[in-house]
Amino acid sequence: MQEEFEARDLVGTLDCGHKYHEACIKQWLMVKNLCPICKATALPAE
């Protein structure tokens, strides 16, 4: 479920441009390296 951002929220933006609550997207990226919306690779492999 996506929620609206509040002014004090920490927001993380993926390379694809989608924005998420920082804590939420960090947790998600530990499981899958994909944007939950568009399925683009979130972080390039080094």
1-46 pLDDT, tens digit per residue, is: 566 767 777 888 999 999 999 999 999 999 999 999 999 998 777 6
pLDDT score of 31: 94
pLDDT score of 44: 78
Number of Cβ within a 10 Å radius of residue 9? 14
- Give the predicted TM-score (pTM) of the model: 0.75
- SS3 category, 41: strand
- The helix (H) or strand (E) run that includes residue 21 is strand 19-21
CATH number for region 1-46: 3.30.40.10
